[in-house]
Structure formats: C-alpha cells, structure tokens
Structure 1
Amino acid sequence: MEFFLDTANINSIKKGIEYYPISGVTTNPTIISREKTNFIELLKNIKSILGNNKSLHVQALGTNAKNIIEEAFYINELLGDNVYIKIPVIPEGIKAMKSLSEKNIKITATAVFTPQQGLIAAKSGATYVAPYVNRIDNISGNGINVINEMYKLFEAEKTQAKILAASFKNVEQIHKASLAGAHSATIPLELMEYLIFHPLTDVSVENFIKDWEDLYGKDKTLLP
C-alpha cells in the first residue's frame, strides 16, 4: 500500500517524509485554506520539498469542465512533474477527466462515495480514485464495503486505476481499507504515527534498555 500525507502543513510534510515511507501529499481547498497563506507559494513550497519522485495532488475548484481543464493545465505547468489534478466526480468533472486524460494530465478523482462513481471515474481516465471512508460511515453507509466493491469492479474491468482511500478517523479504518483492496491511503501525520504505535512496543524497548544497562552501563550501545 502507498501512503500519502493528507495535509498542506509544511512542518508535517517535512517530518512525515523524514520518518515514514511517504509516496506523496494530497491537498484540497479546505486543507490549503487552513494554512492561511498564499496558496501558490504554498504549493510551490510543498512541491520543492517533495521533489519529482513523490507526487502532489491538487484540487481544481471549477464546477464546469472548461474551468477545470484550464485550472488543470495551469497547475500542471506551474508545478511540473508528478502532479495530479484532483477532480470531483460530478458530471462536469467526468467530462473534464475524459479530456484531460487524453492530454496525459494525471488525475485523481475525488469526493467519491459509491463504487459506480469510482468505476466511471476510472474509465474516464483517473489514475487514482478517492473514496471517503469515514464520511460514508457518517451517513450510515459502510466505507470499507464501498472500497471492497470498488476493488472487485476494478478487477473485473481490468482497469489500471488505483483506489486511494481517504477520510479516516482511526487506525482500524486504515487497516480494514488495506484488507478490502485499497491500493493507497491518504492520512494526516497524526494517524501515520499511530500506525506504528503500540504501548507494548514501548514497554519492550524500555525493558531491553534496562536489562542491557544493568550489565553494561548507562548509554552503552553496540558501538565501540
């Protein structure tokens, strides 16, 4: 599974990349607005941190195909390689996806709530399709089932699109999404850190150190 950071916070991105196997960063208008700064400079800054080997996903704000396409070309030219344009799965968005995919613009379909929305986006040229797990759960749906059904559809249709699971509130949701067939997940840094946290791990490390230091002395490592 690929892991993406769902943030536009520079400090979180730097820390995430330093410590964890991050494939890129996803943003949306809400996430960017939280940083309360010039959004163009912010995106450039994020891209410079990521380099060309990690991807940046930026959402178009237009609600008609013409505007979405214009924004997509602008962002693609502004930020360069390995940039994905996030486009909601509304009719005008699907229209834009079809056009942009023919021009080799990378696309992430967003605001996905049903398997059929995901399939239509995939067949319209999206590389990533992002179902909102927790938001589906919040309206008495089942986000994990949506991922699993979407995965089965993608397999049956032999589409190359990847499921980029989004909208998580806890580690269990992420774990179940990976078992259900999600190829990738986008999560905030806090949840990324919780993915490897377990109190017994910390206790084990403390016991190892105590046993070692009881015999060899404090702060003594394997180094000479």
Structure 2
Amino acid sequence: MKFFIDTANLAHISEANELGILDGVTTNPTLMAKEGIKGTEAINNHYKAICEIVEGDISAEVLSTDFATIIEEGKVLAALHPNIVVKVPMIKDGIKAIKWFTDNGIKTNCTLVFSAGQAILAAKAGATYVSPFIGRIDDSGWDGIQLIRQIATIYERQGFKTEILAASIRNANHIIACAEAGANVCTCPLDSILALLKHPLTDIGLAKFLEDAKKMG
C-alpha cells in the first residue's frame, strides 16, 4: 500500500518525505486555507513547491462544478508539473470531466466518494484514483472500512485499474484496517503516520537496551 500525506503544510510534507516512505500528497481547498494560502496564483505556486519536495503523485483539486470550467482548471493544474493529479468531485459533470481527462492523458483523483456505486462510475470513467472518505462514513453511522473492502472486491472482479485511495483517515488503526481491506493508497495527516511507529513494548524494550548499554560502559 502506498502512503500519501493529506496536508498543504510544507514542513509536514518534508518530515514525512524524510522518513523515506512517502509516495505522494493530497490536498484540498480546506487544507490550503488552513495554511493561509489564498488566490489562484498562490495556490498554484504552492503546488509547485510541494512537487519540488515529493517525487510521487500530487493531487490538486479543481474548485468548479461545471464541466467546461473543471476542464479549464484541470488543464492549468496538470500543466504545473508532470506529477499533478487533477482532483475532481463525484458529481455528474465531474464524471464527464474525468472521462475527458482520461482520454487526454491527464491523471485524476475522484474525490468525495461515499458508495460503491460512485466508485464504479469513477472507474468506468477511467479515474486514476478513487477516494472513499472512510472517516466521514464512520461519522454518519456506516462502516467506512467495509466500503473499502466492497470496492476492492468489485474492482478485482471487474478488472478495473483505478486505485483505491482511502481518505479521511482519523488514526493509525484506520491505516492498518485499510491495508487489510485492500486499499491501494492511504492518505492521512502526519500524526497518523507517526502513530504507526509507537508501541509501549518498543519503548520498554528500548529503555532496557539503553540501560544495559550503560552497564557495559
């Protein structure tokens, strides 16, 4: 499973990249605003800065909801860097746009996916990635991990090439469950990635090793 970091914070992106396990980045307007990045030029320059840090795919989200404008925005984003993946919402015009991007050699990430039916449409349109939001699904009283499992089964049986990018990750257990359920990619904040490092027995064992090392002089 590939690891993406879900942030627009350059320091967090750099820290995750330095671990040597980072495969890409996802962002959205909310994350950009959180970093105080406003305006088309500033946002596009920020995407370029991210691409200079990470070699993998970088999802850059369109802000429009009609077909023609999604295409125009997507073309501008894709031209910023070869690693840009155009992030498109799961709506009617979004699916039409994903098909157009696919036919024209532009990678896409279909976002705001909450059902297997939506995932099927995204795959049929040729999306590079489909992003089920498992945390938000859990919040609504449904099972986000079960949706990952369902999509993985459908994609395997139907031979779809679209990769499942598990999003809205809330903790390290979510990451592990997504890996078990068949997600191809997991995108999450830095703290969720770092939480995978932690276990109390590791801390106890390390403390014992260091204590014994001191005794050895």
**How does the TM-score come out when normalised to structure 2?**
0.95
Map of 1:115 onto structure 2? 116
How far, CA to CA, are the matches of 2:64 and 2:110 in structure 1?
A: 14
Identity of aligned residues (%): 38
Matches within 5 A, 1:183-202: 183-202=184-203
Map of 1:39 onto structure 2? 43
Once structures 1 and 2 are overlaid, which stretch shifts more, 157-166 or 201-210?
201-210
Q: CA deviation at 1:40?
A: 2.2
Secondary structure (helix, strand or coil) at the match of 1:175 reads helix
Map of 1:103 onto structure 2? 104
Secondary structure (helix, strand or coil) at the match of 1:22 reads coil
Map of 1:66 onto structure 2? 68
AA aligned opposite 1:62: S
How far, CA to CA, are the matches of 1:192 and 1:173 in structure 2?
A: 11
Map of 1:125 onto structure 2? 126
How far, CA to CA, are the matches of 2:134 and 2:20 in structure 1?
A: 23
Q: CA deviation at 1:11?
A: 0.5
Q: Does 1:10 align with 2:14?
A: no
Map of 1:221 onto structure 2? none
Tell me how large the CA RMSD over aligned residues is: 1.0
Matches within 5 A, 1:202-221: 202-215=203-216, 217=217
How far, CA to CA, are the matches of 1:61 and 1:210 in structure 2?
A: 56
Is the Cα contact below 8 Å between 2:48 and 2:81 reproduced in 1? no
Structure 1 or 2, whichever has the larger Rg, is: 1
Secondary structure (helix, strand or coil) at the match of 1:193 reads helix
How far, CA to CA, are the matches of 2:203 and 2:164 in structure 1?
A: 33
AA aligned opposite 1:31: L
Secondary structure (helix, strand or coil) at the match of 1:204 reads helix
Map of 1:220 onto structure 2? none
How far, CA to CA, are the matches of 1:82 and 1:39 in structure 2?
A: 16
Matches within 5 A, 1:143-222: 143-215=144-216, 217=217
Secondary structure (helix, strand or coil) at the match of 2:23 reads strand
Say how many residue pairs are matched.
213
Map of 2:52 onto structure 1? 48
Residues 32-59 of structure 1: CA distance to partner in whole angstroms, max 9, x if unpaired?
1111133222112111112xx3111111
Q: Does 1:27 align with 2:27?
A: yes
How far, CA to CA, are the matches of 1:118 and 1:147 in structure 2?
A: 10
